[in-house]
């Protein structure tokens, strides 16, 4: 894939030009237009070019080069630097993360994708299909991409909720097992990662909604409430799942240890049942000259029958008491 995915100028929500990166500063002179550039893992040289075209701050460009930032928004003069983490469920059902950086200025927006994430072509197309909205400027483009990124967290948390349900089924329906302990732990690990990616967005959206930011027109601000809302909902799901996981861990341990205890208890019960006839047999095995029933033809059977009966009574009694 090319480093420069797109570089398009818009006026009143319509494409008006596809300038080369070097010519963007000419387009920028016309204040009724804005330029939307999409980059993918750009080289240092390309970033330097972008920086000089738009006059970006050194620190922001440095951050944009090194991925592995935490989500944040920073104002530099009248332009804005924003970092988001993107998430997708991969084929093994795990979450893989990427990163997207935004530079937004008076009449430009640059999106920079890092790591594995879906390209934003569809977002761009959808925006171009609603020119009355895109004509609100680069603020709307920013909203559209942020909304797209946040919406991709919903399948992620749904997979997690489903995993939790599977764990619950294992604990309460099937047999609680020791593998479940590991599954709970690993799900918690994933949850914490998602929370780290999502929770800073609450604050970021708040700032975009409330503060007076020049490069975002006032009429696009309500749109960020929408993103805010989604972020808060994802956060809630993550927090709930986390709390339930803690309880599930305890429940699994207690049911598992009880079910193991149970087997031990059962063995102990059987041992007690077997110990009695062994004792009786021992008595009849004693070497005395006079042993009751010694001469009797049925002595052997009588003793075995008697102890068998006693064992049955014990078994019945243990069962009734719930000990077996």
Q: Quick one: which of 36, 100, 27 has its CA closest to 69?
A: 100
Q: Are 16 and 33 in contact (CB under 8 A)?
A: yes
Minimal distance in Å, beta carbon 2 to its own copies? 30
Q: Are 62 and 46 in contact (CB under 8 A)?
A: no
Separation between Cα atoms, residue 214 and residue 106, nearest integer Å: 7
Which one-letter DSSP state was computed for residue 120? S
In DSSP notation, 51-67 reads: HHHHT--HHHHHHHHS-
Assigned token pair, 131: 């020119």
**Closer CB to its own copies, 29 or 289, in the complex:** 289
Minimal distance in Å, beta carbon 9 to its own copies? 26
**Closer CB to its own copies, 30 or 274, in the complex:** 274
**Closer CB to its own copies, 7 or 157, in the complex:** 157
Minimal distance in Å, beta carbon 264 to its own copies? 5
Instruction: Compute the C-alpha angle 109/112/114, nearest 5°.
Output: 165
Q: Quick one: which of 208, 191, 209 has its CA closest to 246?
A: 191
Minimal distance in Å, beta carbon 246 to its own copies? 8
**Closer CB to its own copies, 96 or 199, in the complex:** 199
Minimal distance in Å, beta carbon 312 to its own copies? 15
Minimal distance in Å, beta carbon 93 to its own copies? 18
Residue 113, strand partner residues:
40, 100
**Closer CB to its own copies, 90 or 278, in the complex:** 278
Residue with tokens 């029958």: 305
**Closer CB to its own copies, 107 or 235, in the complex:** 235
Helix (H) or strand (E) holding 79: strand 79-89
In order of 79, 133, 135, 257, the CA distances from 9 in angstroms are 18, 15, 12, 66
């Amino acid at each position: 894939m090319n480093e420069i995915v797109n570089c398009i100028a818009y006026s009143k929500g319509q494409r008006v030009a596809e300038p080369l990166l070097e010519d963007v500063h000419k387009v920028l002179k016309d204040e009724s237009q804005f330029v939307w550039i999409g980059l993918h893992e750009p080289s240092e040289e390309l970033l330097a070019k972008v920086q000089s075209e738009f006059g970006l701050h050194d620190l922001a460009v440095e951050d944009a080069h090194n991925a592995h930032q935490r989500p944040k928004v920073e104002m530099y003069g009248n332009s804005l630097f924003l970092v988001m983490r993107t998430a997708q469920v991969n084929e093994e059902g795990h979450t893989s993360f990427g990163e997207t950086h935004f530079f937004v200025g008076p009449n430009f927006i640059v999106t920079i994708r890092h790591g594995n994430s879906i390209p934003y072509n569809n977002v761009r197309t959808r925006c171009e299909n609603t020119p009355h909205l895109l004509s609100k400027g680069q603020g709307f483009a920013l909203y559209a991409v942020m909304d797209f990124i946040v919406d991709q967290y919903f399948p992620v948390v749904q997979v997690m909720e489903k995993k939790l349900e599977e764990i619950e089924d294992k604990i309460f329906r099937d047999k609680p097992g020791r593998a479940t302990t590991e599954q709970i732990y690993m799900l918690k690990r994933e949850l914490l990662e998602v929370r780290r990616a999502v929770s800073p967005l609450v604050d970021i959206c708040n700032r975009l909604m409330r503060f007076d930011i020049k490069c975002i027109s006032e009429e696009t601000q309500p749109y960020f409430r929408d993103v805010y809302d989604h972020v808060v909902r994802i956060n809630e799901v993550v927090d709930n799942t986390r709390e339930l996981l803690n309880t599930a861990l305890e429940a699994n341990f207690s049911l598992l240890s009880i079910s193991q205890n149970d087997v031990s208890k059962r063995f102990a019960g059987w041992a007690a049942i077997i110990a009695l006839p062994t004792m009786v047999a021992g008595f009849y095995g004693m070497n005395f000259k006079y042993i009751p029933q010694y001469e009797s033809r049925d002595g052997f059977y009588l003793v075995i029958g008697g102890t068998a009966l006693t064992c049955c009574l014990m078994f019945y009694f243990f069962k009734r008491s719930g000990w077996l």
